Structures are given as C-alpha cells and as structure tokens.
Amino acid sequence: MKVTTHHRLGALALASCLTLSGCMSSGSGSEGEAGDGPITIGISLPLTGDFSEPGKGVQRGYEAWADYVNDNGGLLGRDVELTILDDQSNADRVASDYEKLINQDGVDLVFGPFSTRLVVPAAQVAKDYGFLFVEPAGAAEEVFTQGFDNLFYAAPAVADDHYNYLADAIEALPEAERPKTAAYAAMDDPFAMGTAYGLKTRLEAMGVETVVDEVYPPNTTDFGSIAAKIADSRADVVVGGTQYQDAVNMIVSLRQLGYQPKMAAFSTAPTNPEFPEAIGDETEGILSPTGYTPEADYPTNPEFVEYYTEAHGTAPGEDEANAWTTGQVVAAAVEAVGCADPDPECQGQLIDWLRENEVDTVVGPLSWDAEGRPEGAHLIQQYVDGEIRIVLPEEAKEADLILEKPTW
Amino acid sequence: MSLFFQSLVLGVLLGGLYALLAAGLTLYFGVMRVVMIAHSAFLILAAYLAWFFTTETGLDPLLSLVVTVPLFFVTGVLMQRLLISRLRPATLTMMSVLLTFSVALVIEGMLGFVFSGTQRRIRLPYSGDSIDLFGANIAVVKLIAFALAAVSLGALFLILKKTQFGQALRATIQHPDAARLIGINTDRIAGYGFGLGLSTAAIGGTALALDSTIYPSLHWHWIGPLMAIIVVGGLGSIPGAAIAAMLLGLGQSLLQIPLGTTWAQTLFYVALFATLMVRPQGFFGGRLAQRF
Amino acid sequence: MRSVSRAVGLLVLAVAVLAFPSLAPDPFILSVGVVIMSYAVLATSWNFVGGFTGYISLGHASYSGLGAYATALLVIHTSLNPWVAMLLGGLVVAALAVPIGIASLRVRGASFVIVSIAMVLILLLVFQSWGEFTGGSNGLRVPRPFDESVLRPEQHERFFYLHAALLAVALLAWWAIDRSRFGTGLKAIREDEDKAQSLGVPTFNYKLTAFVISAFFTALGGGLYALWFGFLDPIFQFSILVGSYMVLMSLLGGIRSLFGPLLGAVIVGYAVEFFKNQYGDTQFHLVAMGLLLGLVVLFMPDGIIPALSSLLNRFRPQAASIREVSAGDLAEQRRTASAATSTDDESTDRLSEGAQR
C-alpha cells in the first residue's frame, strides 16, 4: 500500500509539473513582435470582491479609451488591445496577474489597477521588470514613499491634498466666522484616511479644535456609536474619510441622532450618482472633493464626455475619468518617445519623458514630482439646490459655496 | 452623561439582535453538536432577500418575513437531514464545521454572483426618523429591529418551554439516548431544531437589512462575535447565549466611547479567551458544555 | 523491495521538484510554482495538528500571518539577517502559540475551532489598528533578502528552492513524529481521546506540543512567503480563506498521509489558476471552493491518497500484512461495520457520544 503511494505520488508530481507548465503557457504568442500588430496593454482590476464596484468603473473607462483610440487611428498607427484580468480584490492575485501579463501574454504596456491596497504590490512587479506604471487609483501618501521610480498617479492630486481649496476658503474667512470645532471619522483605509487627515492638518493649523477623531474598520456597518460620539461633541464641522456606503450609513446615523453640523464634508460617496438616491432630499450643502467633472472645459474633456455618453448613455464619473486619464498619459509618452514595447530601454524612455513633461488630460494638465505625485488640487463640489455643483475654486465654480449647511 | 446614556441605549438595541442570532447558533449546537459556521451567511442571505423583495415590489421589507421564515425553516430541516446527518458520528463536530463552512462559501459566492459585490441598502422613508427617550435618540429602524428580535426570542422561549415539541427538543438536547427511550424521534426533532435555528437567521437578517448596508462577505463580520457569545454563554445554552449577547453588545457599545470602534470589537474575543481560561464550559451553560 | 520502490518514488518526486524551475517556460509559471510550494509548506505544517490529533483549525492563517509580520518587523527594525529573522519569527510565534494552545485545547473540539477562527479575526483587528507598529492598513513593505542585481525571475527560482527545502524539513519532521512514540500517542488521541487518556497518554501535553510545532512551521512558511512577496497587508494575511485553503488541501490529499497535503496543494493550487482562467470575472471561485470542500467532507473525508490506495488495492494481490493497516484504519473499519449492521439508531448514537465525550 505504501509502496504504490510513493510511486504514484512521484509520477503524479512530475505529471502535474508538466501539465502545469504546458496548459498555463497556452495563451502566449504575441511576444516579441514589436512593430506591426496591435499594441497590447495589460491591466488587472478588481472585477469581483470588495473593490469590484469602482473596479468596474475603471474598466469602463479603460475600454472606452481603447475604443476611442482605435476609432481615431490608433497609437503610433497601431491599434491598441486591452487584456484585463480580474484580481478578485486580492493582493496576491494582483501581483500574479501582472507577472502573467508581462511574462506570458507579453504585453507592451501595463496600466495600473484600482485601490491603494493593490497598487503597491502591482507596482513592485512592474518595477522589477522595468515597466512604466501609470495608475488611476492609488492616491494615498504611502504609495509615493516606497521608492517606485516608475510610478505616476493619473489624477490631479494625492489624497492629502484633496480638500486644499476648501481649507483655503475657510482660512480666508474672518477669524470669527471660522468653525471652532471639528469631528473626523475615517475608514481604516490609506486613501480615505488620507483625505480626512489632510483637511485635519490644515484645520488644526488654523486653530480649529479636533473634538472627535475616529477610525473604523472597513467592514463596519453599524455607525450608531460613532455617530453618537460626533453628535455628543456638537462639532461645527464633520469630516468623513469615507468610500461609499459608510458615508451613507454615517449620515443616516447622524440624522437619527438629530445632529446638525454647520459644515459636512465626505470623500468619494457624494460624487456617486446613487448617493442622492440613498440619502433622499437631505443632501443639501454636503461637500465633497472630486478630481473630475464632466463640465470641465479642459481641451480633450468635451470629446471624452461626448464619446463616453454616446456609448454608455450616462456621463462618465471619476473612476472612468481617471482610467481615461491613465490612457491619455501613457499615450502622450508613447507618441512623444515613439515606442511601445516591453523592452526596458523603451520603458525607461517613457518613464523619463513623463518625469520632464506635462500632459494635457481630461482632468486638466498633469505633471509629477520625482516620486510620481501629481502636482494639482481637487475641485470642491457641494449639493446646491439638489444638484452636485463645483463651488471651489473661484475660477471654476458653477455655484456659490454655501457656508451654513441647511439642516438634514 | 448623555453620550453614556445614548451608548447604553444603542448597546441594548444591538444586544437584542445579537441575542436572537446567538440563540439560533447555540440551538444547532445543542441539538446536533454542530458549530454552524454558515449561520451568519444565511443571515446575510435573508438580508439580501429582504432587500431584493423591497426593491422589486416596493413593499416594506418586514413583509418578506412571510416568505423567508418558512423557507429558511424548510432549508434548515433539509440541511440537517441531507447533509449533516450523513457525517460520521465520530468526527461530527469537526466535519460539520467544514461542511457548514463550505455552505457559507457557496452562499457568499452565489450572492456575489447574482447580486454582484456592490454594497446594498434598503431605502426606507423612515430610515432617518427617531424618537426621543429621556434625552437619547432611538432610531425607529433600530427599535423595529429590536422589537423583532425580542418578539422572536420570546416566541422561541415559549416554544421550548410550553409546547410538546419544545419539551422533546429540550430532552434531545439534554440526553438524546433517554429521549429516544421514551419514544421521541430524535432525528426528526433535530431536523426541526435546525429549521428553528435557521429561522432566527431569517428574522435576524431582515432586522439587519433595515438599518445596515449589506454585501456578500459581510457574514465574516458577524460569525466571530456570535461564536464568542455562544462560548461565553455556554455552548448549547439558549438563555446563556441571550444573556451573554446582551452583556457583550452593551459592553461593545460602551467601550466605543473610550477605545474607538476597532478596539471595542476585540471585547468579544477577549471575553472568549477569558472564558476558556477561567471557565471553559461557559458562564451560564450547564453540564452539556463541559464536554466540548 | 519495498524500500527500493520507496526510494525510487521519492527520487522521482525530488527530481520533479528540482527540475520544475528549468521546465517552467516563463517566470509567471515559476511564480505559480512558488505559490504552490508555499501552499504545500503551509498545508503540511497544518497537518501536524490536523493530521495527528484530528483537531481541525480553520485559523492557521493566524500563524502564517504572525510569522510573516514577525519576520518583516525583525528585518526592518533590527536589521537582522533575513533568514535569522525568519527563524526567530518562527520561534516567537511558537512561543505565542503556547498560551493560545492552552486556552483552546483545554476543551474538546468545538471550542478549538471557534478559537482558531476568533484568532484570525482578532489579529486582523489588531494589525489593522496598531498602525505605528504594523503599518496598519497601509501595509508593510518587506525588504528583499537578495540585492538588486538578482532579477525577479532569479528570485522566483531561489524562493522556489527555499520553499522546497522548508517543505522537505517539515515533511521529515512529520515523518519522524509519525514513527515515534509521541506520534502513536497523538494518533491515539485522534481515534479516541478518552481511551488514549485512560491508557496513560498525556493527552493535553501531546496535543499542545503538536499544536506548537504546527504553529512554528506555519510561521516559517508565512515568513518565507513574506520575504518573497515583499508586501504585507493585514486583510490578506489574516484571512479565513487562507486558513481554509490549508484545510482543504490537507483534507483533499489525505490528512493521515505524509504526502497528502503536498498532493492537495498541487491540486488546489492548479485548480485555483484553472478556475480563475475559466471563470475569472465572477465570484465562482468561492462557490467552486465551497463545493469542493463540501464534496470532500461528505464523500472523501480521508482524502485522495487513501481513496486511491484502497481502489488500487482491490485490483492487486493482497500482500499487505496486518501491520500495514493502522489502528485508525481498523477503528474506522469497525465503525463502518457496526454502523452498517446496526439499523437502529441507538448504537450509532452511543458511538457518537463516546467519541465526543
């Protein structure tokens, strides 16, 4: 009995070795033929699992961009072809996906995945193979302090700077009219915390006292106790470092407790089209930073909005815009350098070009510092008369900033 | 002071829901010696069904109970008869953990498959409403959830204490051999016990859906505290589970004031370890728990 | 004759493992190989407690995660040699496993499982929240043990062999215990803890020792993986799914066999890649894993190796002496025989009572 077991195991191990190598390498073939065929671009996105909702938005943006490029003569005269894998919202998978895209599918370029938590492991793989890594969603400060010299964030500002215009506006108020106290509640997520703490740093510097500072785990669904703390503090300003549903839950809980702040700012959620649906009529005055608005008149934006709306029936959101921007940034480098292949020399040239130059995108002109941080700021939006409008900065505003938030 | 009182009220409301769910979880253990990992997955399933019901029909999610409670009862009976009873008695406790774990994975996967990973929330016209009680605000939805839990727990208690089925069930929990000797069909009773346990998940899920966001992997968030509760309460003891649930729910809510959300959650696990170190059979459990 | 065949079998296995990196057509396949090897290390480590004592831990991700963080933090803060740090990390985790084991092994079965799951959840909370120390939700970059000149494919190759070496050590330890008096005692616990105790087996100490050894090897596996992967995030380190993969692999291969977990790791590791290729954009991989686990538990609780062996044995002359049948097999035979003959519920139930008490 034992005899056969050992024999069979050996044979089985050998056989599985072979089939493993054999079966899984079947998809390769496009390797090494630079020049004629389409330019292949490899992407891994969270299409299932916890980050799947924004992941799908990014996917729509990438696909729209590729279609648009192909409708308009391609890149360097070649069509672009996307290979999108699903990383199941898992860090191990995202690294293995880029490993596969680069080594087995032989892609010419890679685009970044979604969510800060997945960007770092993915960027590591890209860096090890010398690939340029432009990403649509890794805004947290930590992404830029890891020593990635191949990484560029394709959005106007890093998380900590999202509220800069709002902080400027508050600072511009006469001392007496400024809020006195502020309450912060942020999801334990590098991006969400980054936004809230960026504003916290600015407000504290102005002398706004922090009365509540709560961090909650990403899986929190009951906000009763957090809301109780905030309500009890009667803070003038409430700042939520939120993703989506946590903002909805928190606002509902705050309303259940009858808390009425003078100013309420939440990241990400309010820009979501489903937000007013979930909150109802009580959105008036809620503030939110955004990196994108379909109304912006940056050179390429109207075209993007038109093209996207035609294909999907709705205007693009921030995730779609960031994906499109990623495409634009890489395309600009490719056109300027004149190459798009996995060769480290070509990738190196692309990286060098982006370091030195500014790119016009649908979110405005972008340029980067040495670590890949974009050097812009986010717009501030607010619900005014039931619609989300840009209120800051002055020169881009569509409506006036409401300083005293109506009751919710 | 008002924050303390507010948290106290929130803690009681939370504890009520925990109590109902823990009662179900400990019931399975009582009748079958089964640690039912899929309990919270069924809870989320029920929440999804309530959400689906409301978005499709526009009716109040509470009405979905008319469908989900019988459905879950039947599912529970079938699960016990078709799956759990097939396991070898010698390794039942261990293997049932794995079997119910796999059921939980299938439910989570199917929920993601059918409803996608998007977080869902039922929109209710009264979701932001609250009533004032001595300076504390009590959300109407939380009150409904609590009332639902309290009524179900009361009903469960009455079924166990006052009906013939309840007597048979308790006999099966306490001494299966003796129960069989006096003519109780313990297999059938165990199946009904399982169905009863799963019905609590149906009610709990609907209550949960009233005031919370739901997503497929949410059940991991619930199973940990619930399992801690049934160990602290004494495995198999329904009153023990209810008391432990209330105390720990209250404790969590109050600890959030000084410690914050994350550390307050560790209370359940600290209580779990303390119980196993000091009194492994649980604080309110009978002699049954000693053996496991 | 028997030892020759065994030597040949082992040799083929060793050659297959050693040759894999040169057979792999590209670095991606090689990286999949590293992941499968890591699975094999973890599953084999899990099997020290699962296989010998029959106590099923769903939360072994606690120890792989702790091992990974211990290694990473030691490397970052003390600038120790990474391999020393890994070993030290394993020892730290083994020390931590002592009180955890005491708490969860004092009572039988159910509480052990509950504690194992609770450990994963509590560690997830702690490592997320204690940001200054663990990097929290920002994650933790682990410095590479090899310098920049070692390119990524080369790294994969080295780590493949390192994992294989660790696996060999774990297998050797399992084999040694299997043949020892200690191992016999453990298996007695698995078959009937009450009888073992009454026969004078110090059941608690034995269980605890097996548990600590298991945690030690699991932590080493976690540490080695951390050095390879280079990035730790609590939600992926302390995940119940990781722990349940270890259980599935061991159970599928066969928890009583030395090579069961390894075989299970190869099958599951391959299946994971396959399912992802076929049903990539859906949650189907969870359903598939759930169904597979359910099927194994219901129909093949002893795993593939015993199932195949008994199938094969039916077709060959019965050369096996009585010694080839372990006490466990005999007990199981008795059990199935008695379950089959007794149609009334009482006797089966008495068995269950006996086993649980």
Q: In angstroms, rounded to a whole number, what is the distance separating the alpha carbons of residues A45 and A83?
A: 10
Q: What is the pLDDT of residue C40?
A: 95
CA distance linking residue C249 with residue C242, whole number of Å: 11
d(CA A99, CA A107): 11
Taking the C-alpha atoms of residue A141 and residue A238, their distance in angstroms, rounded to an integer, is 23
CB A144 within 8 A of CB A373: yes
Closest CB from B3, B213, B217 relative to A245: B213
Runs of H (alpha helix) within A116-189: 116-128, 141-144, 164-172
Q: Residue C1's pLDDT is what? A: 54
CA distance B192 to C332: 30
Give A212-256 pLDDT, tens digit per residue.
999 888 878 888 888 888 988 999 999 999 987 888 889 988 988
Closest CA to B127 of B142, B116, B137: B142
For chain C, say whether B4 makes contact (Cβ under 8 Å). no
Q: With contacts defined as CB-CB under 8 Å, which chain B residues touch A192? A: none
CATH match of A39-157+297-366 with 3.40.50.2300: yes
- Name the DSSP class of A341: S
- Write the residue in A6, A92, A128 that is nearest to C152 by C-beta: A128
Q: Which amino acid is at C249?
A: M
- What is residue A163's three-state secondary structure? coil
Helix H or strand E segment including A289: strand A287-290
Compute the C-alpha angle B250/B252/B255, nearest 5°. Answer: 105
> What ipTM does the predicted assembly reach?
0.85
* Domains A39-157+297-366 and A161-290+379-396 are alike in CATH topology: yes
Contacts of C204 (CB under 8 A, 6+ apart): C105, C106
Say if residues C36 and C258 touch (Cβ distance below 8 Å).
Answer: no
Q: What is the pLDDT tens value at each position of chain C, 357 positions in all?
A: 567 777 888 888 888 888 888 888 888 889 999 999 999 999 999 999 988 988 889 889 999 999 999 999 999 998 889 999 999 999 999 999 999 998 888 777 778 888 898 899 899 988 988 878 888 888 888 888 888 778 888 889 999 999 999 999 999 999 999 999 999 889 888 888 888 888 888 888 999 999 999 999 999 999 999 999 989 989 889 988 889 889 999 999 988 888 999 999 999 888 888 877 776 666 777 888 889 889 988 888 888 888 787 777 777 655 444 444 555 565 666 666 555 444 344 333 333 333 333
Angle between helices A2-24 and C260-278 (to 10 degrees): 20
Spatial distance between the Cα atoms of A367 and A329, rounded to a whole number of angstroms:
10
Residue range B87-108, pLDDT digits in tens: 887 778 888 888 999 999 999 9
Cis ω before A393 (30° cut-off from 0): yes
Q: What angle do CA B256, C135, A243 make, to 5 degrees?
A: 60
The size of the A-B interface in CB pairs under 8 A is 103
Rounded CA-CA distance C230/A120 in Å is 10
In this structure, of A130-139, B1-10, C182-191, the range with the lowest mean pLDDT score is: B1-10
- The CATH code of the domain that includes B230 is 1.10.3470
Task: Give, in degrees to the nearest 5, the angle at Cα B115 between B111 and B121.
Answer: 100
Q: What is the pLDDT of residues A354-380, one digit of tens each?
A: 988 889 888 888 888 888 888 877 889
pTM for the full model? 0.86
**Neighbour subunits, C (≥3 Cβ pairs < 8 A):** A, B
Task: Give the B window 180-209 contacts with C, CB below 8 Å.
Answer: 180, 186-187
CB contact under 8 Å between A49 and B14, yes or no, is no
Quick check: A123 contacting C, CB < 8 Å? Answer: no
In whole angstroms, how far apart are CA C124 and each of A41, A152, B18, C238?
35, 31, 21, 5
CA–CA gap between residue B105 and residue C25 (Å, rounded): 34
Does A248 reach chain B within 8 Å, measured CB to CB? yes
Residue B272 has pLDDT above 70, yes or no: yes
Task: Identify which of A12, A188, A218 has the shortest CB distance to residue C263.
Answer: A12
Pairing of strands A237-241, A263-266: parallel
Interface size B-C, in CB pairs within 8 Å, comes to 176
pLDDT, residue C271, reads 84
**CB-count burial class (<10 Å; 0-12, 13-18, 19+) for B158:** exposed
The third-level CATH classification (topology) of the domain covering A161-290+379-396 is Rossmann fold (3.40.50)
Give residues with Cβ within 8 angstroms of B288, minimum separation 6. B30, B173, B174, B234, B235, B236, B237
Closest CA to C163 of C31, C34, C32, C23: C34
CA distance C1 to C7: 10
Contact C20/C214 with Cβ under 8 angstroms? no
Inter-chain residue contact A128 with C5, CB threshold 8 Å: no
Is A373 within 8 Å of A149 (Cβ atoms)? no
Q: Please tell me the distance from the alpha carbon of residue C30 to that of residue C21, in angstroms, as a whole number.
A: 6
A12 touches chain C (CB under 8 A): yes
Q: How many angstroms separate the first and last alpha carbons of chain A? A: 74
**Contact list, B127 vs chain A (CB under 8 Å):** 252
Which DSSP symbol is given to C43? H
Question: Where do the domains of chain A lie?
Answer: 39-157+297-366, 161-290+379-396
**Type and span of the H or E element at A350:** helix A344-356
- Strand A237-241, strand A181-187: pairing: parallel
At position C220, the amino acid (one-letter code) is L
Q: Among residues A123, A128, A164, A162, which one has the least CA distance to residue A143? A: A123
- Residue C48's pLDDT is what? 93
Residues with Cβ within 8 Å of A259's Cβ and at least 6 positions away in sequence, in order, are A227, A230, A231, A234, A238
Task: Give the domains, in start order, of chain C with CATH numbers.
Answer: 2-319 (1.10.3470), 327-357 (no CATH)
How many domains does chain B divide into? 1
Find the domain containing B149 and state its range.
2-291
